[in-house]
Homo-oligomer: A and B are copies of this chain.
Amino acid sequence: MQLAMVGLGRMGANIVRRLMRDGHDCVVYDVNQDAVATLAAEGATGTATLADLARELQTPRVVWLMIPAGLTGGVVDQLADVLEPGDIIIDGGNSNYRDDVRRAAALKPKGIHYVDVGTSGGVFGLDRGYCLMVGGPDEAFARIEPILATIAPGRGEIERTPGREGDFSPEELGYLHCGPSGAGHFVKMVHNGIEYGIMAALAEGLNILEHADAGIHQAEHSAEVAPLEEPEFYQFTIDTPKVAELWRRGSVISSWLLDLTAAALQENPTLEGLAGRVSDSGEGRWTVKAAVDTGVPAPVLAASLFERFASRGEDHFANQVLSAMRLQFGGHQELPAGDVLEAGGRKADT
């Protein structure tokens, strides 16, 4: 079927390629006309404006947006002016599901359907397919299902879950209609919240492995920090990159994020050059806020988010307050940077 793609960054462009490979007809637009030209050369129909795009499409139209969340609102408004009742706008970006709820309500009087599609798969999606979490009206979902089926991974080689039989259901093919508008991005949001937690679990564990040699460095310990007890039990120099590779094989924690970790450590065993200032893109925050709103305990997901904040120095004033209190009640002076960083048995590289 025919689809328009607005936004031809890495993900948008690869989704177009995956659709064209499967025989779909793609009309494309991006403010960067070079990106348009590139895909036009690969077989898509390029357009120069959103109005052009609308003209090129057969009605009822289907327009997929794959643009930064901050721009989505404006582009939806512009599209609303050039589209007609019965058309479908799909937001495949990383929008807050609350915006979906608002936008779907705003478009309803115009008869334009709004579908939110949480899209996971990163840079590997072109070949691997994308996991699609869809929110929106039944009618619109039914209409775009052929597109979703192409973008999703499909049956693949994954072992079927015991107890599932007969035809493959959509969720087994990698796409799911999760509920009304917003439900897709809600499920994607929680997916990313979980991702933060899994990433943190792996990172904390590997950090412990890196410190398994603390007993060897014990002599360097400073007086102000609690000494390592029983250094005889921390005499291991673990080859962390090899362990990450090992755990991919038959262990309970085998996972795609572990695969990526093993690849990263294979490429750069000491992770030299990485400053360890970890960004976050919003979904982790929204997940914690949703947990707070609904009264669900989420200490692991919250802790993983807060570790990222702290990695960027946002714990600085709090730590100064702690040092200030210690100075007040016990006269404890802070150690110079070098000394303290040796305390765990290693020097940080900053």
> Is B197 within 8 A of A205, CB to CB?
yes
CB contacts under 8 Å to B, within A259-282, are 259-268, 271, 274-282
CB-contact partner of A274 in B232, B298, B313, B323, under 8 A: B323
Contact A325 B236 (CB under 8 A): no
Query: What does the 1/0 interface line of A151-168 toward B look like (CB < 8 Å)?
Result: 011001111011110000
A8 at the interface (CB under 8 A from B): no
A35 within 8 A of B: no
Contact of A320 among B125, B196, B260, B276 (CB under 8 A): B276
Asked if B294 and A211 make an inter-chain contact with CB atoms under 8 angstroms apart, the answer reads yes
Q: Which residue of chain B is the closest to A215 with respect to CB atoms?
A: B294
Other-chain residue from B10, B252, B295, B316 in contact with A195 (beta carbon distance below 8 A): B252
Interface band, chain A: 35 or more
A84 close to chain B: CB less than 8 A? no
Chain A window 299-331, contacts with chain B (Cβ cutoff 8 Å), 1 for yes, 0 for no:
111111111111111111111111111111111
Q: Does A107 contact B (CB under 8 A)?
A: no
Residue A51, interface by CB 8 Å:
no
Task: Find out whether the CB atom of B178 lies under 8 angstroms from the CB atom of A279.
Answer: no
List residues of A (196-217) whose CB comes within 8 Å of B's CBs: 196-212, 214
A32 to chain B, nearest CB (A): 16
Interface segment out of the listed A20-28, A40-48, A54-62, A339-347? A339-347
What are 24 pairs between A and B in contact, CB < 8 Å?
A96-B229, A124-B329, A131-B251, A171-B245, A176-B239, A190-B205, A199-B321, A199-B325, A204-B298, A204-B299, A207-B317, A224-B281, A228-B295, A264-B325, A274-B320, A274-B327, A276-B322, A279-B340, A288-B292, A299-B302, A302-B302, A302-B306, A310-B310, A313-B350
Smallest CB-CB A-B distances: 8 pairs: A197-B201, A255-B255, A276-B319, A174-B249, A131-B251, A264-B324, A226-B282, A194-B205
